[in-house]
Every structure is written in C-alpha cells, then in structure tokens.
Amino acid sequence: MNAIERRIRDLNNLRPDLTAREDLQQYWEETLQTFNDKPLNSSRTQVESHMEGVEAYEVHFEGFDGTPIRGMYVHPAGGKERKWPCIVTYPGYQGTYYEPESLAMWACAGYAVLAIDLRGQKGGTGSQLTFDSGVIKGFVSQNITDKYRCYYRAIVVDCLKGLEWAAQQPEVDKRRVATVGSSQGGGIALLTAALSDIPSVAVAHVPNMCRIDYAMLSSTGSTTELSQYCEVYPDRLEQVLETVSYFDMFNLADRISIPVFVSVCLKDLVCMPETIFPMYDRIVSEKEMEIYPFSGHTVGSHQLKAGMAFMKKHLARVE
C-alpha cells in the first residue's frame, strides 16, 4: 500500500461523533414551515450578453427577509415549448458578481442556469440582516450565537427560495433541477439538497460547511472567522458550536435522498478532506466521489468535467 492509498484508507475510516442537537429535525421543520409561504416578490429583466443563442436575465427575489437577492438567469434561446433542465449554482465565499458570459458552459451544455448571489458578499446583493454585537471581518460570525438570526440561516433560506424561483420558470423542467457549487457553494448545494424536495441531483466540489467544529480548529478558510470570534469571546464557544451544528452537513447528510457527486482534494487546507470524507460516508443515497491527491483548494477542468458527466447521466431528458 503506497502513501496515497494509506491516506485515503485512513480518511475513509474516520468516524467522528455527530454534533447534532436533539432538536435538529424540529429546527429545520419549523424553519421550512416558517418560510414556505413567504412570497418571492420576484422580478426578472432581460439583459444583453455577447453570447449567441441564449437569453439572459437579471433576477431579484426575496428570501430570509426583505433583502432583494440578486441572481443571473440564462437559458438557451428559442424553442418556447421546450423545458430545459436547470442548474442552480451558488458561489464560493466572497464570490464575485455574475455576468451572463460566466455561465456560458451551462448554456452550451443545454441547461438553464440560475446563479445566485449570497447576501453581503462580493456580488450585487446587499443585506438587511441586523446584528446585535460585533463581528469578525467577513460575514459568518453575524449573530452566530443565535440559531434563528444568524447569517448561516439567512443564506440557506435565501438559497432555498432561489430554488423555488428556478422551479417556477416557464422554461424549466422542474423534474430536472440540480444544485451545484464549490467550497461555500458546494456546502450550500448539499444543504439545499438535504432540505428541499426540488433538486433531483447535487454536485458539490470541495464542499465547505462540513464538520464545522473541526474546521474551526484546523481550516484556513472562512471558519477562521468563527475561531477568531471565539478567541475574542471564549465564553461564547458553546453557543457558537451549538449554532453551527444546525448547518453542518455532517449532521444533515443522511437527509439527502438524491444522487450526489462530491470532489475532494487531499492537499486542501480550506475545505479539508478530514471534514468531507465523514460527511460523504453518511450520505445514504446514490453517490460518487472523485479524489485528487495532489490538488489544494481548487476546482480544475477534470473536476468540472466529472461533475457535468454525473449530472448529464441523472438529468437525461425525459421524453
């Protein structure tokens, strides 16, 4: 057995304890019920692009609160009677503003795609979320001691409502919707797959939001904001750990009932394999993992191609 095989074996044998609280299921049932009937108050406005054969729209809808969540929606032009499979994609942490051209590969592959901004980050979406105490730089520590008002709950509800918007579009075949993302976006792709009955397949590259307590100790990514928060407020550590447990895909993985594709990089110091392998082990539905031993926190062409092949297989057109 070589060193790479031994490393993968050891990762597959990880069996950490769950951090879920007793009311995990109740918490999400109440959350989903609370926001189920909240109106989207949505709009879509056609915009120009440099691509031929596609239509592009700027989208706004409301999610957790009154904040207009921005998205870019693109679909192949023509064929008004045809329903396209749809990709709903989420950005990595501090993701950039979407332009139609950045979504070209999905349109070329024959998909409609809705790319959702996350509130307050580098896209075009603001945030009306208020918080009562100081935060550590970025966003994830906003209201982190309150599981009902925290930033994590706001963005998850936003993204669930975005899924709802996509499934309602006249060009979309609501039977064939995929959630897709990398890093933060990969974690949200899995979370929405665990919490919504809309998606029929999920693709998560190097997903974040897995074993968040371990990531707080060891990752160099966004969870360092939580570590630094607890360094400033050590008396709030247990409150922070309780809050993040409700959004940890390690605790929620067994709720997923659709096919899932996950990619993981063994040299990733942001979304570490020690956080992803145990989460993946708990997925009970059909699943596939691609392992890249020599890559860090990246999504290369091989990962994209493998994820798209997985989606194509599961979103094959139903005549």
Q: What is the pLDDT of residues 188-208, one digit of tens each?
A: 999 999 999 999 999 999 999
What is this structure's pTM?
0.95
Q: Give 211-244 pLDDT, tens digit per residue.
A: 999 999 999 999 999 999 999 999 999 999 999 9
Active-site residue among 60, 75, 297, 314? 297
Q: Where are the domains of the chain?
A: 38-312
Region 281-290: mean pLDDT is 98
Q: Residue 158: is its pLDDT beyond 90? A: yes
For the question of residue 75 being annotated catalytic, the response is no
Q: Give 174-183 pLDDT, tens digit per residue.
A: 999 999 999 9
pLDDT at 317: 55
CATH class of 38-312: alpha beta
Burial class, 8, CB count within 10 angstroms (exposed 0-12 / middle 13-18 / buried 19+): middle
For the question of residue 297 being annotated catalytic, the response is yes
Say how many C-beta atoms besides its own lie within 10 A of residue 46's C-beta.
10
- The tokens describing 37, both together, are 């009937």
Region 131-140: mean pLDDT is 85
Q: Evaluate the CA torsion angle 296, 299, 300, 302 in order and state its sign.
A: positive
- The tokens describing 122, both together, are 């580098």
For the question of residue 268 being annotated catalytic, the response is yes
Active-site residue among 183, 196, 200, 219? 183
Q: Give 71-129 pLDDT, tens digit per residue.
A: 999 999 876 678 899 999 999 998 877 889 999 899 989 999 999 999 999 888 989 99
Active-site residue among 75, 196, 268, 314? 268
